[in-house]
Amino acid sequence: MALKALIEKRGKLVADARAALDEITKNTDESRAAELEKRHDDIMTDFDKTEALIKRTKALAEAEKRHADEDEEQRAKNRPITPGAEGRGQDGGDDLEYREVFHRFITRGGDVNELSAEERAVLKAGVQSAKEFRAQSTGTNTAGGFTVPTELANQIIKSMAAWGPMYDEDITTTMTTASGNPIKIPTVDDTAVTAEPHTEGEALTDDGGKDVTFGQKSLDAYVYDTEFVRWSMELGQDSIFNFEQLLGELLGERLGRISNRELTIGAGTTNPHGIVTASSLGKTTAAAAAITSDEIIDLIHSVNPAYRQSPKVRFMFNDLTLAAIRKLKDSEGRYIWSGGDIQNGVPGTLLGYRYSINQAMAGVATGQRSMIFGDFGKYFVRKVGSPIIGVLRERFWPDLGMAGLIRFDGELGDTAAVKHLIQA
């Protein structure tokens, strides 16, 4: 289905879903109401599939364009050079890329003897990259293996960002450092302190009662690894898959899952202090397994208005919680959830505020923190460099293995800035 048709279908589904719920009134019998609610849920399921298909269609179009551009570039490289004409390739002065040589190295069973002298030189130069990961030594090629190309490192970072919102620099405040030494962050909450009326001629009070109280938070560097992903020499030679892209997605998703989970619900003792764990109480629901629109409004107003002006203010909850919110109306019968406009890049909102879906959060259940709201810019994510990835061949010879490491930490600098809604 064409992209335009999908976008039109998405808009119709939203209208149909709202129409189904609008039919439910105080006079609607239970069986009819249940039928309409099921219809609404079925339509929203189709909505989610259509929205995902729109994103995939756009991604496919971009991938096809990149593939066409790469094919044209490769054809240009392979064209013979004719007298008086311009050409590309070895005779044109082009250098071999490390990524191309690394791919040949893998598909030829990890045997450097299968490479030309020039290719071996390129591969050897890449081994000395700062992103190398070898446990045995740092001086010889035979001690550990060859590093993964930069393109794959970028693929891993992209997969991590797509997996969970807490690793997204646009949502939180991110600090990237070269080393893992602890970083101390001073904190202060002076929102409850005010000035006092002054009487002419009287001395100012100086009893220390309104001194500023400072605190301190620490950002450390916790390490997580993906474990090794191993594949056989035969698979590397025979597979039709692009192993660089496949492993980039696998390792990126592993690192993305652990980083998003820890930055969301980490206890803050031997791991990061997750934003849900660190948040303060904003509202307790009346029901153990339900949320009302009034309770969401109370959660918003439990956060000081100064924080609600931040460009990074938002809600966060999991997808099942969003499914429940989609059915809620305000006191005037208007839906509090807006689907946005994917065609024009307008995101969905809840009561005028943006939201993020985070599957590491708990759902609507007894005693669970099912929703948080506030200024996410007050949550600091500390990243130590980029993910470290590497390939080993001697250890698994004749097979190969790849693994990744990541170091990070997270802490909420001001607990008044982000508050949670907890089920009864």
CATH code of the domain containing 245: 3.90.1690
Confidence class for position 92, pLDDT limits 50, 70, 90: very low
**Closest Cα to residue 377, out of 360, 351, 354?**
354
| Mean pLDDT confidence for 64-87 | 56
Q: Tell me the residue type at 345.
A: G
| Mean pLDDT confidence for 6-32 | 82
Phi and psi torsions of 295, nearest 5°: -70, -35
Supply 342's token pair.
């994917």
Mean pLDDT is highest, among 101-110, 196-205, 386-395, for 196-205
Report pLDDT for 132. 39
Q: How much of the chain is helix, strand and coil, in % rounded to 5?
A: 40, 20, 40
Domain co-membership, 382 together with 254: yes
| Domain annotation covers residue 207 | no
Radius of gyration of the chain (CA): 28
Domain co-membership, 59 together with 106: no
Domain co-membership, 324 together with 397: yes
Confidence class for position 72, pLDDT limits 50, 70, 90: low
Confidence class for position 16, pLDDT limits 50, 70, 90: confident
Percent of the chain clearing pLDDT 90 (strictly above): 32
Query: Over 70: is that where the pLDDT of 124 sits?
Result: no
Domain co-membership, 41 together with 153: no
Measure the CA–CA gap between 335 and 331, rounded to whole angstroms: 10
Tell which phi-psi region holds residue 3, choosing left (phi > 0), alpha (psi between -120 and 50) or beta. alpha
Residues 381 and 160 sit within 8 Å (Cβ to Cβ): no
The domain total for the chain is 2
Residues 383 and 408 sit within 8 Å (Cβ to Cβ): yes
Q: Does 298 or 51 have the greater pLDDT score?
A: 298
Report pLDDT for 81. 40
Confidence class for position 99, pLDDT limits 50, 70, 90: low
| Domain annotation covers residue 148 | yes
Average pLDDT, the chain: 80
Confidence class for position 71, pLDDT limits 50, 70, 90: low
Report pLDDT for 123. 67
Query: Over 50: is that where the pLDDT of 133 sits?
Result: no
Domain co-membership, 35 together with 125: no
Domain co-membership, 316 together with 391: yes
Confidence class for position 84, pLDDT limits 50, 70, 90: very low
Confidence class for position 148, pLDDT limits 50, 70, 90: low
Query: Over 80: is that where the pLDDT of 397 sits?
Result: no
Q: Does 182 or 282 have the greater pLDDT score?
A: 282
**Long-range contact pairs involving 174-178 (C-beta distance under 8 Å, separation at least 24):** 174/380, 174/381, 174/382, 174/383, 175/219, 175/380, 175/381, 175/382, 175/383, 176/382, 176/383, 176/384, 176/385, 177/382, 177/383, 177/384, 177/385, 178/384, 178/385
E strand or H helix at 230: strand 229-231
Confidence class for position 108, pLDDT limits 50, 70, 90: low
Confidence class for position 102, pLDDT limits 50, 70, 90: confident
Domain co-membership, 238 together with 287: yes
| Mean pLDDT confidence for 186-204 | 83
Burial bucket for residue 257 (CB in 10 Å: 0-12, 13-18, 19+): middle
Residues 55 and 10 sit within 8 Å (Cβ to Cβ): no
Last-in-domain residue among 70, 86, 113? 70
The pLDDT tens digits for 256-296 are 889 999 999 999 989 999 999 999 999 999 999 999 999 99
Report pLDDT for 172. 94
- What is the residue range of 149's domain? 96-187+215-424
Domain co-membership, 105 together with 27: no
| Domain annotation covers residue 19 | yes
Helical H runs in 79-149? 98-107, 117-127
Domain co-membership, 160 together with 271: yes
Q: Does 127 or 60 have the greater pLDDT score?
A: 60
Q: Does 237 or 320 have the greater pLDDT score?
A: 320
Domain co-membership, 122 together with 12: no
Confidence class for position 398, pLDDT limits 50, 70, 90: confident
| Domain annotation covers residue 204 | no
Measure the CA–CA gap between 250 and 229, rounded to whole angstroms: 9
Percent of the chain clearing pLDDT 70 (strictly above): 78
Q: Does 163 or 15 have the greater pLDDT score?
A: 15
| Mean pLDDT confidence for 162-188 | 86
Domain co-membership, 336 together with 386: yes
Confidence class for position 64, pLDDT limits 50, 70, 90: confident
What separation in angstroms does the CA of 210 have from each of 80, 189, 200, 413? 81, 12, 20, 22
Measure the CA–CA gap between 374 and 312, rounded to whole angstroms: 8
Report pLDDT for 142. 42
Domain co-membership, 57 together with 108: no
Query: 35-44, 198-207, 231-240, 353-362: which has the minimum mean pLDDT?
Result: 231-240
The pLDDT tens digits for 336-394 are 998 877 667 778 899 999 999 999 999 999 999 999 999 999 999 999 988 877 777 67
Report pLDDT for 206. 85
| Domain annotation covers residue 386 | yes
Report pLDDT for 305. 94
